[in-house]
Amino acid sequence: MSELASEAVRIGTVVPVEVDGHDFVIWRGDGGTLGSAPSWCPHLDWDLGEGRVVGDELVCAGHGWSFDCAGHAFKRTELGRVDPKDDIETLRVEEADGVITATR
Ligand code: FES
Ligand 1 atom with least separation from CA of 63: 3
Cα 93 to ligand 1 centre (Å): 24
3-state DSSP: the chain helix, strand, coil percent, rounded to 5? 5, 50, 45
For residue 6, what pLDDT band results from cuts at 50, 70 and 90? very high
CB-based contact 67:37 (threshold 8 Å): yes
Q: What is the structure's pLDDT at 55?
A: 97
Q: What percent of the chain has pLDDT over 70?
A: 100
pTM for the structure as a whole: 0.95
Cα 82 to ligand 1 centre (Å): 15
Give bridge partners of residue 40 from the DSSP assignment: 47
Q: How many alpha carbons fall within 13 Å on the CB side of residue 17?
A: 27
CB-based contact 14:49 (threshold 8 Å): yes
The identity of residue 89, as a single letter, is: E
For residue 44, what pLDDT band results from cuts at 50, 70 and 90? very high
Domain architecture of the chain: domains with CATH: 2-103 (2.102.10.10)
pLDDT in tens, 57-69: 999 999 999 999 9
For residue 52, what pLDDT band results from cuts at 50, 70 and 90? very high
